[in-house]
């Protein structure tokens, strides 16, 4: 099911949690809403589900305007952050709930509900646990029961709020891969909310990066990591450092001095670069500073460098260096970004 | 090494004599102020033997008082169950203006003297009021009749169910309800299959306390009842009348019945707490 969100605005007591958000989700797509807390990602998910109503704007399911449909009418599968399993019902009763409460005209016969529940249990690999209660399950198992329960009603889309938030690191990785396979097998349009960029980049077809109630960028993992379109996306996704620069006559100047980097248009702004897109150099036209710390990171090292700032607090940057590079604490290092982006107007 | 061989003691623990003193003090206090009076009620009740005890209870006025007390509880408790559930639901699950005021209002019966609670109804339905004469001319007696007693009891026992449910429902939030709604359940189905089972132990606990108070209420009821023997006397009022007449055996016989009710309530409450406590600990995720 294709979902279109048009100019959505949501206010809570005059505070705009979402401000003019538009998004098109293709049928069968797996989309991540990524952002820090307070960015409006969960609000957007709840608006799609019909658990909240927008102050302005529309939500379309296919060509149907669902903006004023209730959550029941929208027929969406929603997996809550803390699963919200019914604690007094067994696993099987939880999964069958959405079918059991249907009006008699559309309710499947008991035998069929039982069959559907057992099929779903198979699908989420929990066969044999149907008579357990939620508090007898591990976190990962509860998560999968919640997913099976949401799938039981044959939803038009599947919405997951921080699906792995409450799990430990190992289970989280397993479930992440499992969810990807699950999605590929069922082909449901799926939207999930996360604050974990690794999760979003690894799992989603497209990532929607959000900040302060606005969408900053929508794109594939490569897009948002390699071609960030705003300073927020550059600093939120992956590691990065930034320095205030002037661009004059095609040359980038830092503190009035050329640093061996050129740029097309004249501007005043912030130079962003990632630790891995830096080379060490002897060139006098380069950035230089004092190495204040050195950390081992898997196959490389990260050097933390302080660049003097005329008596003000120094600029702090992080640079990836080869394991055997002659970098020592307290020594001076010269380096130059090999890939960068300048966002104008930031000071 | 030998220096380190002191037995380990938790920093929050106290020495043996401190513990002994605290426990002994509590026990002595409880024995003197709670247990002995309770025992003495039963001792006095059975002072003239079983037969006298039985006689005192089936005496027509005493029997009428027992029946009236049960009638009042049967009306007041279910009503307060519904009111309390509504109030707790509104407070825990919705945001609205005047919520803080409503919470304070629910506590009102706890904070004012029961005598005042009774007087409120005298002012409202008495001969000098607007409502009283009008109702009387239509054949409805409120004061010095069963309806007045029921009203006063409802007023006094209102907070028990609501007070018990509000923290429980607030703690549970609306997550389960949203889950049920998203699965297609109607509001009523959500309440019946999800909300109510989630609070059932707390609700039962609140109802028990409410019932105990409904049967035992003295102050408010004594103001509105008029104390007509065999007609508007509840058990607590009847006990007082018998006592004032120096009819000790009969007074204590009826009192022992009330005390027994209290004991049964306490036992049920303890039983529920065991269930409820275990459920609360294991049921949260």
Model pLDDT for residues A135-161, shown as the tens digit of each residue: 999 988 999 999 999 999 999 999 999
| Domain A241-344 class, CATH top level | mainly beta
Average confidence (pLDDT) over B239-245: 92
pLDDT band with cut points at 50, 70 and 90 for residue B276:
low
pTM of the entire structure?
0.80
B186 in contact with A, Cβ within 8 Å: yes
Q: Are A309 and A322 in contact (CB under 8 A)?
A: no
* pLDDT higher than 80, residue A213: yes
**Mean pLDDT for all residues in chain A:** 91
Q: Tell me how close the Cα of A56 comes to any Cα of chain B, in angstroms.
A: 21
The CATH number for A3-235, chosen from 3.50.50.60, 3.30.200.20, 3.30.2130.10, 3.40.50.300, is 3.40.50.300
pLDDT of residue B283: 36
Domain residue ranges in chain B: 14-45, 50-283
Q: Measure CB to CB from residue B175 to each of A77, A82, A149 and give the nearest one.
A: A82
Domain residue ranges in chain A: 3-235, 241-344
Distance CA A196, CA A160 (A): 14
Q: Measure CB to CB from residue A88 to each of B178, B186, B197 and give the nearest one.
A: B197
pLDDT of residue A186: 87
Residue A337 main-chain phi, psi, to 5 deg:
-65, 140
pLDDT of residue B7: 67
Average confidence (pLDDT) over B46-71: 91
CB contact under 8 A, B282 and A101: no
Tell me the residues of chain A between 115 and 134 that have a Cβ less than 8 Å away from chain B.
Answer: 134
Q: Tell me how close the Cα of A165 comes to any Cα of chain B, in angstroms.
A: 13
A337 in contact with B, Cβ within 8 Å: no
Among A94-103, A309-318, B271-280, name the most confident range.
Answer: A94-103
Q: Are A181 and A6 in contact (CB under 8 A)?
A: no
CB contact under 8 A, A97 and B285: no
* pLDDT higher than 90, residue B255: yes
CB contact under 8 A, B176 and A84: yes
pLDDT of residue B280: 44
Q: Tell me how close the Cα of A211 comes to any Cα of chain B, in angstroms.
A: 25
pLDDT tens, A167-205? 888 888 888 888 898 899 888 999 999 999 999 999 999
CATH superfamily name and code, B50-283: MetI-like (1.10.3720.10)
Distance CA A238, CA A41 (A): 19
Q: Measure CB to CB from residue A142 to each of B185, B282, B285 and give the nearest one.
A: B285
pLDDT-wise least confident of A79-83, B70-74, B271-275: B271-275
pLDDT tens, A52-107? 999 999 999 999 999 999 999 999 999 999 999 999 999 999 999 999 999 999 99
Polymer length in residues for chain A: 347
**Mean pLDDT for all residues in chain B:** 87
- Which uninterrupted H or E stretch holds A253? strand A251-254
A101 in contact with B, Cβ within 8 Å: yes
**ipTM reported for the complex surpasses 0.90:** no
Nearest CA in chain A to B199: A88
pLDDT of residue A208: 97
A87 in contact with B, Cβ within 8 Å: yes
CA geometry: angle at A32 spanning A26 and A34, to 5°? 140
Average confidence (pLDDT) over B71-84: 95
Strand pairing report for A77-79 and A157-161: parallel
Long-range contacts at B88-92 (CB < 8 A, ≥ 24 apart): B88/B161, B88/B162, B88/B165, B88/B166, B88/B168, B88/B169, B89/B165, B89/B169, B89/B195, B91/B162, B91/B166, B91/B169, B91/B170, B92/B165, B92/B166, B92/B169, B92/B170, B92/B172
Average confidence (pLDDT) over A113-126: 92
Q: Tell me how close the Cα of A190 comes to any Cα of chain B, in angstroms.
A: 16
CB contact under 8 A, B178 and A150: no
Distance CA A241, CA A306 (A): 11
Q: Measure CB to CB from residue A102 to each of B184, B198, B285 and give the nearest one.
A: B184
Chain A residues close to B278, C-beta within 8 Å: none
């Amino acid at each position: 099911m294709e979902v279109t969100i048009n100019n959505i605005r949501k206010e809570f007591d005059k505070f705009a949690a979402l401000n003019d958000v538009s998004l098109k989700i293709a049928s069968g797509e797996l989309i991540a809403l990524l952002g820090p807390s307070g960015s409006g990602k969960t609000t957007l998910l709840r608006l799609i589900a019909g658990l909240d109503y927008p102050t302005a704007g529309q939500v379309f399911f296919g060509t149907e305007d669902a903006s004023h449909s209730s959550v029941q009418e929208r027929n969406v599968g929603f997996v809550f952050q803390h699963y919200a399993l019914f604690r007094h019902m067994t696993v099987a009763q939880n999964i069958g709930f959405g079918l059991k409460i249907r009006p008699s005209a559309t309710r499947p016969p008991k035998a069929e509900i039982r069959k559907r529940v057992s099929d779903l249990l198979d699908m989420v690999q929990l066969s044999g646990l149907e008579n357990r209660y939620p508090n007898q399950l591990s976190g990962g198992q509860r998560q999968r029961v919640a997913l099976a329960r949401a799938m039981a009603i044959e939803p038009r889309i599947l919405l997951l709020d921080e699906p792995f938030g409450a799990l430990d690191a190992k289970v989280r990785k397993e479930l992440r891969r499992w969810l990807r396979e699950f999605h590929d097998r069922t082909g449901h349009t799926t939207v999930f909310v996360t604050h974990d960029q690794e999760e979003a980049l690894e799992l989603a077809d497209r990532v929607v990066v959000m900040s302060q109630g606005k969408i900053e960028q929508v794109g594939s993992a490569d897009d948002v990591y390699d071609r960030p379109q705003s300073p927020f996306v550059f600093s939120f996704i992956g590691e990065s450092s930034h320095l205030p620069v002037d661009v004059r006559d095609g040359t980038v100047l830092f503190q009035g001095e050329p640093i061996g980097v050129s740029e097309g248009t004249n501007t005043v702004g912030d130079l962003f670069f990632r630790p891995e897109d830096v080379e060490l150099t002897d060139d006098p036209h380069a950035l230089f500073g004092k190495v204040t710390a050195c950390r081992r990171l898997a196959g490389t090292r990260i050097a933390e460098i302080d660049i003097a700032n005329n008596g003000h607090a120094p600029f702090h940057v992080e640079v990836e260096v080869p394991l055997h590079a002659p970098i020592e604490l307290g020594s001076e290092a010269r380096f130059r970004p090999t890939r960068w982006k300048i966002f104008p107007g930031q000071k | 090494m030998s220096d380190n061989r002191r037995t380990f003691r938790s920093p929050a623990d106290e020495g043996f004599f401190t513990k002994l003193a605290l426990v002994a003090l509590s026990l002595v206090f409880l024995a003197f102020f709670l247990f002995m009076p309770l025992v003495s009620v039963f001792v006095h009740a059975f002072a003239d033997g079983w037969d006298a005890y039985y006689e005192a209870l089936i005496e027509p006025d005493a029997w009428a008082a027992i029946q009236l007390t049960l009638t009042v509880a049967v009306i007041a408790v279910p009503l307060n169950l519904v009111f309390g559930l509504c109030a707790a639901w509104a407070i825990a699950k919705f945001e609205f203006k005047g919520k803080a005021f409503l919470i304070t209002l629910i506590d009102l019966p706890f904070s004012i003297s029961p005598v005042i609670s009774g007087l409120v109804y005298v002012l409202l339905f008495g001969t000098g009021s607007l409502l009283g004469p009008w109702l009387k001319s239509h054949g409805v007696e409120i004061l010095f009749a069963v309806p007045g007693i029921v009203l006063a009891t409802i007023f006094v026992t209102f907070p028990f169910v609501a007070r018990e449910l509000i923290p429980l429902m607030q703690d549970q939030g609306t997550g389960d309800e949203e889950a049920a709604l998203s699965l297609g359940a109607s509001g009523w189905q959500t309440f019946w299959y999800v909300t109510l089972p989630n609070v059932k132990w707390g609700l039962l606990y609140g109802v028990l306390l409410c019932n105990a108070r409904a049967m035992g209420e003295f102050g408010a009821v004594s103001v509105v009842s008029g104390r007509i023997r065999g007609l508007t006397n509840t058990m607590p009022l009847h006990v007082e009348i018998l006592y004032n007449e120096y009819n000790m055996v009969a007074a204590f016989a009826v009192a022992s019945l009330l005390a027994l009710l209290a004991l049964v309530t306490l036992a049920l409450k303890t039983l529920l707490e065991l269930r409820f406590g275990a459920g609360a600990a294991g049921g949260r995720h």
